[in-house]
Structure 1
Amino acid sequence: MGSTLMATTSILLSSGLAAVISSTYSVKKPLNDAVYGAHGEFMVALKYVTLLTLFLFSFFCHSLSIRFINQVNILINTPQDPMSLVTPEYISEILERGFILNTVGNRLFYGALPILLWIFGPVLVFLCTITMVPVLYNLDVVFTSANKGKMINANQNRDFV
């Protein structure tokens, strides 16, 4: 469900951004008069195209994640046959690919937030980056009471199938 929500949000933001880029109405003019930063046409175009690219790749990763996880949901119910190509290791590999694509899609989406704020100026980018560092750190590091405060990398704490 998380991948579906993030894919939907990514494509919705991409569509809205594409509409803003292609509009003949001067929507981009007030954005240029923001706090600080470059206001040339090239820089504005670079900001919008970078943001659009990040959202589209995020959508792509989340869509592939949904595909792999749905495939695991189907294959996990197949009966065990010694001659079958569907083995628990294969299913585990597909599930891991789905989780990795979900993580990459989330990182691209989270990385697009400072780029979105870059449109309004570098001060907001700096504040967003300072805020995102602890958030991403908490997503990567798991503290467990069983390990008495020992830090574990979240990617090493997976057990599949």
Structure 2
Amino acid sequence: MEWRKCYLDVMLVPLGFLILMGYHLYLWHKVRTQPLTTIVGTNSRGRSFWVSAMMKDNDKKNILAVQTLRNMIMGSTLMATTSILLCAGMAAVISSTYSIKKPLSDAVYGAHGEFMVALKYVTLLTIFLFSFFCHSLSIRFINQVNILINTPQDPTAIVTPEYVSELLEKGFVLNTVGNRLFHAGLPLLLWIFGPVLVFLCCVTMVPVLYNLDFVFRSGKGKNIDVDGSNNV
């Protein structure tokens, strides 16, 4: 009897997230092998050039560098604040004595017992906590870049543009992971209303993310190599 109530949750929820994980594994493979065909790889290459340009002409561009990094920190701070507020809301719901499953029990497909409802909210809480953790670390790395990018350059300088670019890249990778975890909270939030919506949301997110993550360049007869050169 219990299996009949939760078989949709056991089948559709893992299947939906396996589809999302498969897409991100494909994206990771493309970023490693053909970075300039993806937004992540293209932006990473552009950030390394930006750091080199800022540090090379630091006397004229130091204010521009600080303001740009400040905007990045503000974005990460907003996401971290939103994540921890959602965590507080999830914790309040979990610790509440009010049984939230009662008004939803007739409208939810799949299992909606006490254990399943608790599992849904605990999973949401965990996802948002990890999102907050990633955004917090991102702020830490970008703050370091904010100081080091104005370091005076000399032939014996320990702080090189390559080192600063590496720190900035770590910050942006953590920011991207935090954003993806935050987005994963959407299908989990829909899990409250049943596993069917989770599966449909995961399937819908794949083409949306594909159009946001990959570069579609116009031009006939041009192929872009991994090193960034154009071949006709």
Q: TM-score range, shorter-chain basis?
A: 0.7 to 0.9
TM norm structure 2: 0.60
CA distance in 1, matches of 2:123, 2:222: 39
CA distance in 1, matches of 2:105, 2:136: 33
Query: Unaligned stretches of 5+ in structure 2?
Result: 1-73
Residue 17 of structure 1, CA deviation: 0.7
Describe the SS at the equivalent of 1:130: helix
Match of 2:154, SS? coil
Cα distance between partner residues in 2 of 1:149 and 1:15: 54
- What are the within-5 Å matches in structure 2 for residues 1-161 of structure 1? 1-145=74-218, 148=220
Taking a change above 3 Å as real, the CA distance of residues 148 and 140 of structure 1, as seen in their structure-2 partners, is: farther
Larger radius of gyration: 2
Q: Is contact 1:141-1:151 (8 Å) kept?
A: no
Distance 1:83 1:54 in 2: 44
> Where is the helix percentage greater, Structure 1 or Structure 2?
2
Task: Look up the match of 2:25.
Answer: none
- The normalised TM-score by structure 1 is 0.84
For 2:222 and 2:193, locate their aligned partners in 1 and report how far apart those are by CA, in whole Å: 41
Amino acid of the structure 2 residue aligned with 1:66: I
Higher RCO structure (Cα 8 Å, ≥6 apart) = 2
Q: 1:83 to 1:43 in 2, by over 3 A?
A: same
Aligned length: 153
Deviations along 1:83-134, whole A, 9 cap, x unmatched?
4431111100000001100110011111111111111101221221222112
What is the percentage of aligned positions where both structures have the same residue?
84
Matched to 1:59, the amino acid is F
Give distance in 2, aligned partners of 1:11 and 1:133: 26
Root-mean-square deviation (Å): 2.3
Tell me the distance in 2 between the aligned counterparts of 1:22 and 1:151.
56
